[in-house]
Structure 1
Amino acid sequence: MDRSAEFRRWKAQCLSKADLSRKGSLDEDVVELVQLLNEREQFFTTSSCSGRIVLLDGGTNGFEIQKQNCCWLLVTHKPCVKDDVIEALKKVNGDAILKFEPFVLHVQCQTLQDAQMLHTVAVDSGFRNSGITVGKKGKTMLAVRSTHGLEVPLSQKGKLMVSEEYIAFVLNLANQKMEENKKRIERFYTCLQNALKREASSSSHIKVKSKEKNNSLYTHKKKRKPEKACDKCIAEENENDLENDEDDPGLSVKIFPEDY
């Protein structure tokens, strides 16, 4: 099976699976972006989160929070109000932590070149912690991430350790980060649209140029005298032989795979 056929198989399998996230559906702020990527033959998304404010009860292990062991007291993908956090804190039994988690998106790309284009768009849009990973089976993944997160402890062993004034202060920071996060998603969507248009235009331009060049060569060859055309071909073959004998310095790239 060739690589493009295998990629199409991976894409069909991934997009046919049920959404196993807690919410069970795409977040509103990333629907258009995810659809835009999945409509292109060279991409498909494997997971996404538009960004969220979360209040966790991590038991009594402090910062050693494991998702499977913690309790989600509050989660929202929109700006949050203080009263909701105060109400949720009444249910805490261990160490409560308020977090803002920024937008994250994982995209499998058909080629490394596709991933590099998408990576450039992501970084230019403000997601500077993005990266590309190539797995042992040839799967090329792009993770779109940023670093403007927030994580603040609020209670210890069920006891609130901060004032309501401080909670309001921290929540205001989280909401500001949420607004900036949304702007970056919108910028990413617009930049991606422009990049895809440039890519399509460039591809179309190359095809037209190639067709014009072939037609020009065909017309030119028809006008040549037979003996001159033959001499020209012999000369070109000799030049090609010389070029093939030379060492091609090229560009050597080593990618250290990471299994997925």
Structure 2
Amino acid sequence: MAAFPQHKAQRLGRADGSRKGGLDERAAGVVHLLNGRTQFCTTSSCSGRLVLAQGPPADISSGGIPKKNCTWLMVTHELCSKGDVMTALEKATGDVVLKFEPFVLHVLCQELQDAQLLHSVAIDSGFRNSGITVGRGGKIMMAVRSTHCLEVPLSHKGKLMVSEEYIEFLIHVANQKMEENIRRIDRFYTHLESALKTAASADHSPREETGKSRSVYTRRRKRKTIQERDVDASPKDRNEELEPEDDSESNLDIFAEITI
């Protein structure tokens, strides 16, 4: 992507437009690790959250609560309790849904190979809904996503539609998902750090082809020297001298150099 450094500087210089107005603490490590590399620029992130979202009474046939005009009665990026949820539900006047949303991260990448590295790390860390998109102008975006979500309606027009026992069960399930989410973030950070170090080492390691080519050249020159050294040598002597450097073996070495 052309002018990636300039685009990255402009992007990171923008004010945070999220409701929170800043990075989630649990996502900060990954974000700083990526933005510290020239080939990556994070554009949005969330460490995972449990939300009570309220919208106006929805037509069930239209698919449930609309996304527009929704308010949050409760949001937390940590484990929650039944008391937290029940207290928030007391303020309900519309249709309320309990949602668990796992870690999500969007990263602008300089080259496709950078996005592929990040995608591989994400998949290995458990974020199996991750993907790469290439937009207009060649912008390469890598999205780190997971599938272990939760979304359950609790109330309709302010009236609770499920038992407190069921709510307690849902909170237990949501907390388990949050704990797994935390483990995946930690795993992602560890794998990403290792992958970036490996990639950097590969970029700066000396090339081995030069040494190999030199050894092929040395063998060729040795054969030529043996052949020209003594024109009076007997055929038997010549065969004994050339035997260690069989032509077929030499040809295989040269072919290997071409295909590597």
If the length of structure 2 is used for normalisation, what is the TM-score? 0.78
Aligned partner of 1:167 in structure 2 is: 167
Q: Does structure 1 retain, via aligned residues, the 8 Å contact 2:99–2:151?
A: yes
Alignment length, in residue pairs?
Answer: 217
Deviations 1:17-55 (A, max 9, x none): 011100001001111110000000000100000000000
Matched, 1:58 2:55: yes
Matched with 1:180 is 180
Counterpart residue number, 2:232: none
2:250 matched to which residue of 1?
none
Match among 34, 38, 46 for residue 35 of structure 2: 38
Q: Distance in 2 between matches of 1:68 and 1:89?
A: 20
Rg (Cα) greater in structure: 2
Measured in 1, the distance between the counterparts of 2:112 and 2:193 equals 19
Provide the C-alpha distance between the structure 2 equivalents of 1:17 and 1:68, rounded to a whole number of angstroms. 25
Provide the secondary structure at the position in 1 that maps to 2:74.
strand
Secondary structure at the residue paired with 1:154? strand
Quote the Cα distance in structure 2 between the aligned partners of 1:147 and 1:102.
8
CA distance in 1, matches of 2:67, 2:209: 55
Aligned counterpart, 2:145:
145
Q: Following TM superposition, by how much is the alpha carbon of 1:68 offset from its aligned partner in structure 2, in angstroms?
A: 3.7
Q: Give structure 1 regions of 4+ aligned residues with deviation exceeding 4 angstroms.
A: 210-214
- Kindly provide the amino acid, as one letter, of the partner of residue 34 in structure 1: V
1:28 corresponds, among 22, 25, 48, to 25
CA distance in 2, matches of 1:15, 1:138: 19
Task: Give the Å deviation of 1:160.
Answer: 0.4
Judging changes above 3 Å, is the alpha-carbon distance between structure 1 residues 65 and 210 closer, same or farther for their aligned structure 2 residues?
A: farther
Residue in 2 aligned with 1:80? 80
Of residues 78-87 and 54-63 in structure 1, the stretch that sits farther from structure 2 once superposed is 54-63
Cα RMSD of the aligned pairs, angstroms, is 2.1
For 1:211 and 1:17, locate their aligned partners in 2 and report how far apart those are by CA, in whole Å.
47
Residues 199 and 123 of structure 1: is their aligned pair in 2 closer, same or farther, counting only changes over 3 Å?
Answer: same
In the other structure, the counterpart of 1:230 is none
- 1:210 and 1:40, CA in 2 relative to 1: closer, same or farther beyond 3 A? farther
Match of 1:18 in 2: 15
- Find the aligned partners of 1:177 and 1:52 in 2 and give their Cα distance: 10
1:14 & 1:210 partners in 2: Cα distance? 40
TM-score by length of 1: 0.78
Percent identity, aligned pairs only, is 61
C-alpha separation between the residues in 1 aligned to 2:184 and 2:41? 20
The answer on whether the counterparts of 2:132 and 2:141 sit within 8 Å (CA) in structure 1 is yes
Query: 1:201 maps to which residue?
Result: 201
Within 5 Å, which residues of 2 pair with 1:223-234?
A: none
Name structure 2 gaps, 5 residues minimum.
Answer: 222-260
Instruction: Determine the C-alpha separation between the residues in 1 that align with 2:209 and 2:140.
Output: 30
How far off is 1:211 after superposition? Answer: 6.8
Aligned 8 A contact 2:44 2:106 in 1: yes
TM-aligned CA deviation for residue 64 of structure 1: 3.8
Residues 48, 102 of structure 2: 8 Å contact kept: yes
Q: Which residue of 2 aligns with 1:245?
A: none
